[in-house]
Amino acid sequence: MSFLDSLAAGLSLVGNIEAFLALFVGVAIGVVGGAIPGMSATMAVALTLPFTFAMQPITGILLLLGVYKGGIFGGSIPAILIKTPGTPASSATILDGYPMAEKGQAGKALGMALWASCTADVISNLALILFAGWLASFALSFGPPEFFTLILFSLTIIAGVSGESLLRGALSALLGLLLATIGLDLVYGTNRFTFGDPNMMGGLNFIAVLIGLFAIPEIIAMVWHPTAHVGKARSLGKNWVTFAEYRRCFKSIVRGSFIGVFLGSIPGIGAAPSAFLSYSEARRTSKNKENFGKGEIEGVAASEAGNNGVAGATLIPLLALGVPGDVITAIIIGAFMVHGLQPGPMMFILNVDIIYGLFIGLIVSSVFLFLIGSVAIRGFKYVADIPKRILIPAVLVLCIYGVFAVNNNIFDVGVMFVMGWVGYLMVRYHIPAAPFLIAFILGPLLEDNFRQAMLMSGSDPTILFRGPITWFFWSLTVLTIVAIARAGVRAVKASRFLPEDPTR
């Protein structure tokens, strides 16, 4: 199929009012969800997922992508107006956004956040369109040993960079892999941890696990500490961002977008580190570096470009290799699976219309983000006024309906509750949830590819080192482990030089 044929197929799939309406509504939900402190873009995507079951695959996936993109931008609104990031990716925006709001320039900061987000979004989407197909065609030559080493590398990097400690990340990933072993064995069909319960034979439902892991812990945390404080929203002020200011920040925006694209295309890193790296690079190269942290508009532009640059790029490994780049794309892979689609290189052959439909939708999403973002900035005070202690029970009820709707099964609601407590314990013990969920998704693939490789070779492990691709991923895995372990050892050594606490 030629490029034009693929484009036409994609256009025929999304060229209808439902697809664009879903995208528009998705961006709106995402902006509102991201703007509510304590809700986050991840939770907004997870809660929207059950509503996509009744839709056409492309419509449902566009709705979720809209929520993702809207959520990442929406998080910057409370970051600037009330010094509380709506989503972790917006933490860097506080550094200069809130001081600007204190100076009465909140409107200017929000305007720049919007322009930078939309610019980065366009660059990120273009990167996805250019690189995903190329990577997928390369991945078509992968066999089970190559996929095994690729998934192992992805899990290593996700476990290593998702939290404060490699060991806690590794523990999280191992728990996710162990949970994925529940169900019937992939080769022999024997029972593994099913306890004779037919509900367990298909394994634990992915959506019950993810909603349990990402939405229920927020509810339990609210129960533990109900008086969550939300600051007072500042007024927008009379100033608005000018074209001259946008032009002055353009270099930082483009640089931040490329940082976002690069970090987003590596599984596991995510939007928050990208925003901080983009911010520090902008400060390092700026003529006004002494103003950073005191209300410098370039700081807002850089951090917002950094986090939004990730949004399209995280879909590169998802679509091309079937490996989710972060937690939100891990949820989106669930939407693909619910509709019987398996992201990966074969999707570029079997479902090229969906791939190109998504590309078209993503380009349009940047326009919707700009339109909805402009309105949301002015309407934020209404969102901030929603009482959180009414919102939380509503989220709980939504979770119950959503999880039940997956399989019409009350057992899944129970799985969600149990995973909610597991997720809460993980929050209390600072165990990152992202490696757990991604390992839970990739676990069966990892095991399946390993066993297929062993079957191919007659159980000879050297097949896992059979060519340059496997060697490449093994080298990356070892390098990643060494780099993260060295950073951990340095941190422990640094803590030894600190004075002892006399109270101990």
Q: Which amino acid is it at 129? A: I
Applying CB under 8 A, the site for other proteins has a residue count of 71
Rounded distance, CA 333 to CA 437, Å?
12
- Give the whole-angstrom CA distance, residue 253 versus residue 391: 35
For 192, phi then psi, to 5°, come to -130, 115
Cβ 208 to other proteins shortest distance, Å: 13
Give the x-and-dash track for 77-116 against other proteins (CB under 8 A): ----------------------------------------
Shortest separation between residue 267's beta carbon and other proteins, angstroms: 20
Q: Which of 51, 73, 348, 359 binds other proteins (CB under 8 A)?
A: 51
Residues 127 and 129: their CA atoms lie apart, in Å, by: 5
Residues 112 to 141 in contact with other proteins, rule: CB under 8 A = none
Q: Please identify, among the stretches 24-32, 185-193, 345-353, 466-474, the one whose residues bind other proteins according to the rule CB under 8 A.
A: 185-193
Pick out residues in 383-412 that bind other proteins (CB under 8 A).
387, 389-390, 392-394, 396-398, 400-401, 404-405, 408, 410
Closer to other proteins by Cβ: residue 168 or 234: 168
Token pair for residue 16? 């209808």
Site for other proteins in 222-251 (CB under 8 A): 222-226
Among 167, 201, 352, 367, binds other proteins (CB under 8 A): 167
- Report in angstroms how near the CB of residue 195 gets to other proteins at its nearest: 7
CA atoms of 33 and 74, how far apart (whole Å):
7
Contact 149, 449 (CB under 8 A): no
Among 417, 436, 440, 473, binds other proteins (CB under 8 A): 417
The H or E element containing residue 184 is strand 183-184
Residues 465-494 that bind other proteins (CB under 8 A): 488, 492
Q: Which tokens hold the place of 425? A: 């314990």
**Encoded tokens for 319:** 């679509």
Q: Which is nearer to other proteins, 11 or 478 (CB)?
A: 478
Indicate the SS3 state at residue 192: strand
In DSSP notation, 111-179 reads HHHHHHHHHHHHHHHHHHHHHHHHHHHHHTT--HHHHHHHHHHHHHHHHHHSSS-HHHHHHHHHHHHHH
Side-chain-side CA neighbours of 168 within 13 Å: the count stands at 16
How much of the chain is helix, strand and coil, in % rounded to 5? 75, 0, 25
Q: Does 292 bind other proteins (CB under 8 A)?
A: no
CB of 389 to other proteins, least distance (A): 4
Residue 163 CB, shortest distance to other proteins, in Å, is 12
Distance CA 180, CA 162 (A): 20
* Under rule CB under 8 A, residue 255 binds other proteins: no
In the complex, minimum distance from the CB of residue 30 to other proteins, in angstroms, rounded to a whole number: 19
Selected from 2, 3, 4, 190, the binder of other proteins by CB under 8 A is: 190
CB 466, min distance to other proteins, A: 16
Closest approach, Cβ 5 to other proteins, in A, equals 34
Q: Which of 56, 5, 65 is nearest to 363 (CA)?
A: 65
Site residues for other proteins, 427-466, by CB under 8 A, read 428-431, 447, 450-451, 454-455, 459, 461
Rg of the chain over all Cα atoms, to the nearest angstrom: 22
What is the Cα–Cα distance from 429 to 432, expressed in whole angstroms?
9
Give whichever of 468 and 499 is closer to other proteins, judged by the CB atom: 499
β-partners of residue 281 are none
State the minimum distance, in angstroms, from the CB of residue 166 to other proteins: 9
